[in-house]
Structure 1
């Protein structure tokens, strides 16, 4: 396991986008390779949504940076899969 250092919101946004891209592409679903998913994840709209989600999650009572990072990453992956019609483990 590696350590991720988050100094500010932009660090979090970049790391969440990168990790979500890798997780989705590693799923091996046709049409969702690293390059394709990366292009979507780095679009202004998606980066803005990640930023809003991270900020919203961080503002919750008692939330840590790790909590906000994890919740946002999960939401990003779930949203992508839902929109792309990729089944999650619960749906498989």
Structure 2
């Protein structure tokens, strides 16, 4: 099953990236990282600003597509959160 996400502007992207990253992290089932806790962190001004800055900076690169930048920004956000929280990011 695939979902279609409609991105009309940067704020759409920021909101969707934050929401999807929150769900992915919370779905990991790590103690202390439930949906409400992760959501509170992801919707803080500092995190939303970081998402916005990353998205717009990378979108300005030659050849960048909204889809590619959206995906890369979300992946980087999840990796940063997990690394900061001590959540393993691989099966190894």
**Which TM bucket (shorter chain)?**
over 0.9
**SS in structure 1 at match of 2:89:** coil
Map Cα deviations across residues 55-79 of structure 1 (whole Å, 9 max, x no partner).
1111111000001100100010000
Is the CA contact (8 Å cut-off) linking 1:25 and 1:32 kept in structure 2?
Answer: yes
Alpha-carbon deviation of 1:89? 1.0
Give the TM-score normalised by structure 1.
Answer: 0.96
Moved over 4 A (4+): none
Alignment of 1:36-75 (within 5 A): 36-75=37-76
Give the TM-score normalised by structure 2.
Answer: 0.96
Alpha-carbon deviation of 1:50? 0.2
Is the CA contact (8 Å cut-off) linking 1:54 and 1:68 kept in structure 2?
Answer: yes
1:88 equivalent in alignment to 2:89 = yes
Question: How big is the alpha-carbon RMSD for the aligned residues of Structure 1 and Structure 2?
Answer: 0.8
* Structure 2 segments unaligned to the other structure (5+ residues): none
**Distance (Å, rounded) in 2 between the aligned partners of 1:43 and 1:75:** 17
* Structure 1 segments unaligned to the other structure (5+ residues): none
1:8 equivalent in alignment to 2:5 = no
